Every structure is written in structure tokens, then in C-alpha cells.
Chain A
């Protein structure tokens, strides 16, 4: 019987705690290519539904994901050890569309995960960029950015950075209030903006319509699924609740 093209079994080659309630997992599999912003959907046998995670890096068949301990699904994953196997669908969704424009990357909380992968890809293409992240507290901080805001809002300094560094595009991932703020700021400064959204998913491949958001295209409201049409969307198209 034919195997599903996107179905993988991988071996955990490293799992470690990198910050408060935050883990990093490296998985070796036959997946060779993915784009920043795409995700994998891991089977957690104790749960009904799979769990989606942004790809934080992919190098030599090793996928890196970062995750916060939020419930039984992530606790199951955190309890896995080196050499344990995980089953996942990948690569899923549409990632960031890299433009040859001076970029500002904004990652809030665990939203840093896809931005680390994006930064690496931008640098491969020699695209100038500046990466700012924000975390609630010092012990939750994950490294990898040019500037880290701890405790305050990652949005506060964005306008200055845009002006000082002549930013032409913003890429962002994080909670909805941050993404909404990023979109508003980019609109005010008339620069492009792409944001990676998150929503509770059931199927993670676009069939169940469980994770839809509203977009405005050509003056018409359309429902777009975060898992298949996204997770990355043009900021100006999103209709916020």
C-alpha cells in the first residue's frame, strides 16, 4: 500500500530544557526540506489530536522544534528521551515569502521558533535583518535575537527600529495581541508585513476547517485555514476579531 507522502517517523537525537517550561527537541528523519513558517504535526499517543510545532531549524535531516509545556500533549513530548521515535506529518502549511527587503523579525515568547529559522534563511540569502524578541521574564528567555525585551512589550521600540534601520518588511510570530500590534505598526509605516498565526487545529492538513481565521481579499471576507492556507499570512489581509 502506498504510504502518505507527508507522513514521517523520526528519531529524537536531542531533547533538552532551554528555559523555564521550554524544551528544544531535535528529530532526525528523512525530511530534507522545509521553509521557515512551515510546521510539523506530531502524534501524541495519549491525546486525541496531533500537536503542531513550527520548524525552528532544519539542517542535515534534523528538524528542531521548540515548545512550551502547556498541557498533556507537550508534557508527553517533554517526557520523551533520546532514541525515542516520533511520528509526524511534515512539512505543513505555507511559510514566509522571503523578499529581498531589509527585514525586521519580531518573535514574542515561543513565537521565536520559526523566526530563528527565518533569520538563518535570510542570512543565507544575504538579506539584511534585525531580530527582536520579547519574553515575560528572564528565565523564559530563549537566545538567538539581536535584541531581547524582558517583561515589557516587544512592540514598544518597533517604530524607532523601523525608522533607524530603514526597515522595509516585518516578519512576526507570537500571540495575537503582538501580531495585531505589529500589523498596525507596519500599516502606519506603510511597509509589508507577514505574520505566522496560531490556532487550535484538528486535522492540520486543511480538511476539517477547524482552525480558520477571517481574511479580507478584494473586499470580500473569506475564511482561511491556518494549517493549510497559512500559518503565514499577509498582515494587511487579516481581519482581527
Chain B
């Protein structure tokens, strides 16, 4: 481990999240992070955000869940997860014993759901949670909170009351004014914002066999390199509205993407879809970033951020 330059501190008042590197595996791309050592080296990850956890176990959506598009993909997994109770009982001890840094991603249908999960996170001494208020793949619940600043303020405030660790709220890009949402989240006491979640998308494939047309379609969350310009725009908007740290994400797959997100205002990064193409992308990027900083004599990640933002 020689990535000392990449140490990253996300800080809001007395709440601090220390990360080995600013590279975080996005929720949904590493499951529960407890069984993938064959594919990844967790030493280079700042953290991994877990699969979105709900109070009860969820089976997720039936039918096709993945649809590839130019420069990205659409998913409609639908928050399949084991439920917070099973997570605490079966997954948490593994994460702790392997010393894997993680952020618990949580989702719910009601404010009460979120409060209960946040309470469980508090009881189990979980260092950071990421509140998913914007899953585009569930019909009720978190989607509604995510798109309305008053609802989001109320939800964040209630979660804050239950949880004293590092509280991240993940915002949806499917909104007309993300600044309002960001401000509501900051005012309600969140320590950081992660942005953006997937965009709403519809993939349609029409085949013709000479006689008849056949249609396949998947409606869900669009991710991958094709959403990067939208994500950058959103991060810059959020930066102009709040002072708390931003974890930027949306289509990151190479080193220059990190620079672009820093320029827009991000303080750390999440990598999602790119993991599906290259399971070691997070460690590769951390390594490349470190290499870049060593070769170009940057003292630490803070200095790199400052210099990029001067451009």
C-alpha cells in the first residue's frame, strides 16, 4: 500500500469520513462487498457503497433487468436485497472481520423505514450511510422523496435524528432544479451529497424477421459514460448551492473523468457501471491517480483539487 497521497477526508462540522482513497464503489456494483476478492483488491478503495438496503428483504423486479445502449446501460433491478436484519447478521461481521471500508446504502418506502434502518446503522456503529432517495426502479417511496425538496428535507432531518455517523444523501438527476434539493439536504443536516443516481431511460429494440416486428424494451435507470455530461452539470449546480462535500458520479471510467468531476466540484468519486466492464476499475483508477500525483509532484489530493479548480 503506497497510496498515501490519496488519503481523503470528507468533513462537515464534527462529522468526518476518512477514506484511504477518494474512489468509492457505487451502490449496486459490489453487492455486499463480502465475496469478491477474486475480482477486486479492496485495499485501493476508499470505500464501497453497499447494495441499497431496505427494512425487509426485497426480491426486486421480474423480467429483463438489463438493457445495453450506446455508451451505457439501463437497469431495472428494483432494489433486490437481503434486508437490513440479514445484512447485520450475515454480512456485517464479514465486512468487519475483513476490514472492508463500506458505506451502508439505505432505501425505504416510508420515512419510518428510513428512520428504522438509520437507527440500526447507529446501533451497529456503521461509520457512514448513504440515503438513496432516488431509485428510479421502484414505483413508490424513495422516488417521491427524491424529487421534492420539502419531502427530502423532512426525510433527511428524521434520518439525522437517528444517526450520528457520516450521513450522505444520494440525489436524483431526474429533477428540474437540483440546487433546491441539494440545499434542502444540507439544511436538514446531511454531511455530504452523492450525485447523481441514474437517469430515467427507456431502451427499445425492434427486430424484423421479414414478416413481423418484435419488440423488447426495458424502462429503468440509465448509467454509464453517456450520462457523464449530465452528471457534471448536476455536480456543478450542487456545488454552487451547498458547502458540504460532494461525491461525484455518473459515467466515470478513466482518469480524466476524475479531473472533470473535481473541476465541477466533486471531493470524492463513485464508480458504478465501469465496474461491470472492468471489475478492477476502482483500484486501477486509484493507482493511476496516485501515479499521476507522484509524477507531477502533487503533495496530496487537496492540492490536486485546488490546482484543477484554478484552471
Contacts and interface: CB of A to CB of B under 8 A. Distances in A.
Interface of A: 1-7, 43, 47-50, 89, 199-212, 214, 221, 223, 241
Contacts of B51: 209
A240 to B, nearest CB: 12
B275 A5 contact: no
Given A2-B41, A7-B39, A211-B66, 13 more contacts: A4-B38, A5-B39, A7-B279, A48-B70, A48-B71, A48-B224, A49-B277, A200-B67, A206-B31, A208-B66, A209-B28, A209-B31, A209-B51
Contacts of B31: 206-207, 209
Contacts of A202: 66, 73, 75, 273, 276
B214 to A, nearest CB: 13
Given A47-B68, A48-B69, A49-B68, A210 B77 contact: yes
Nearest to A210: B66
Nearest to A213: B62
A200 B39 contact: no
Contacts, number: 96
Nearest to B280: A4
A89 B80 contact: no
Contacts of B60: 209, 212, 223
B137 to A, nearest CB: 11
B236 to A, nearest CB: 25
Contacts of B40: 4
20 contacts: A4-B280, A6-B39, A43-B278, A49-B68, A49-B73, A200-B64, A200-B65, A200-B66, A202-B75, A202-B273, A202-B276, A204-B276, A206-B31, A207-B29, A208-B75, A208-B77, A208-B276, A210-B75, A223-B80, A241-B63
Contacts of A5: 38-39
Contacts of B62: 214, 241
A209 B276 contact: no
A130 to B, nearest CB: 32
Interface of B: 28-31, 36, 38-41, 44, 51, 59-60, 62-73, 75, 77, 80, 224-225, 273, 275-280, 283-284, 287
A221 B57 CA distance: 12
A4 B68 contact: no
A208 B277 contact: no
A205 B279 contact: yes
B31 to A, nearest CB: 5
Contacts of B63: 241
Contacts of B80: 209, 212, 223
B62 to A, nearest CB: 7
Given A6-B38, A200-B64, A211-B66, A1 B276 contact: no
B59 A48 contact: no
Contacts of A212: 60, 65, 80
Contacts of A50: 276-277
B30 A207 contact: yes
B122 to A, nearest CB: 27
Contacts of A4: 38-40, 279-280
B269 to A, nearest CB: 18
Nearest to A73: B68
Which 4 pairs show the lowest CB-CB distances between chains A and B?
Answer: A210-B66, A203-B276, A202-B276, A207-B31
B94 to A, nearest CB: 15
Contacts of A7: 39, 279-280
Contact of A43 (B59, B277, B280): B277
Contacts of B75: 202, 208, 210
Contacts of A203: 29, 275-276, 279
A1 B41 contact: yes
A210 B31 CA distance: 11
A4 B31 CA distance: 18
A4 B231 CA distance: 29
